[in-house]
Structure 1
């Protein structure tokens, strides 16, 4: 039996969040880390466009590509990240990602601190309420989490 202070999330465990063409599994929502860290696993189907380019004021994001390829756009630069690649995005840096390929992609994402995990729950709730997952709707929800659209490369 695991130590009561240790969190173990098995292959079929974790909260599932469905966001259009992306299936996300919450592996750590911050409850076990004093809200210092959140971790999700995302499956991006082929040709997933991803969110509008944005920047976070209060958290850093990390993306580890497990399989497939994910294209990261950081300001005006594109990076094609394949399996085994880690992309770290510090707060304030404009970024987005997409799966432009014909194959699914799987990535692990970290959020330090964890506050952005709730953003994904809010998007799912918005969609369950009948609102479409448009770039404008995403930006509106992002604003609740110290995140804004990146309309320039600054």
Structure 2
């Protein structure tokens, strides 16, 4: 993931990141954001979004918007990489990805509970009622 705008130039109203999902990449556990909208624009490939209990395959040029409180996740189930732009309004959640990067850069494994704990710092929780 590459952070293109961290909110520092938008008065913290908007952050934007680019993500490359390798083939057969599972996404995060299904979760809800309490305080921000999240948008995904698929630049190339296909990304499978799960919203609640429904799956949607989004191809190149598809925009997916997730309002606060909506359970969601995403994955790349295909044999090709997928690239997408993500927006965070306001910018709160972009720090979550920096925290994950620190864990990975340190060589520590990313454990599911540690990921959930990190999400909780940014008004996000697992959608446990759907698992």
Length-normalised TM-score, structure 2: 0.96
Once superposed, what is the RMSD of the aligned Cα atoms?
A: 0.9
Indicate whether 1:46 and 2:23 are aligned.
yes
2:12 paired residue number? 35
Point out the structure with max Rg over C-alpha. 1
2:83 paired residue number? 106
**C-alpha deviations, 1:76-119, integer Å up to 9, x for none?**
00000000100000000000000010000000000000011110
Within 5 Å, which residues of 2 pair with 1:57-136? 57-136=34-113
Q: Quote the Cα distance in structure 2 between the aligned partners of 1:91 and 1:111.
A: 11
Length-normalised TM-score, structure 1: 0.82
CA contact (8 A) 1:75 1:152 kept: no
Unaligned runs of 5+ in 1: 1-23
Within 5 Å, which residues of 2 pair with 1:19-30? 24-30=1-7
Give the total of aligned pairs: 130
Q: Quote the Cα distance in structure 1 between the aligned partners of 2:109 and 2:29.
A: 15
4+ runs deviating over 6 angstroms: none
- Which of 113, 116, 124 aligns to 1:139? It is 116
Q: Higher RCO, 1 or 2 (CA under 8 Å, sep at least 6)?
A: 2
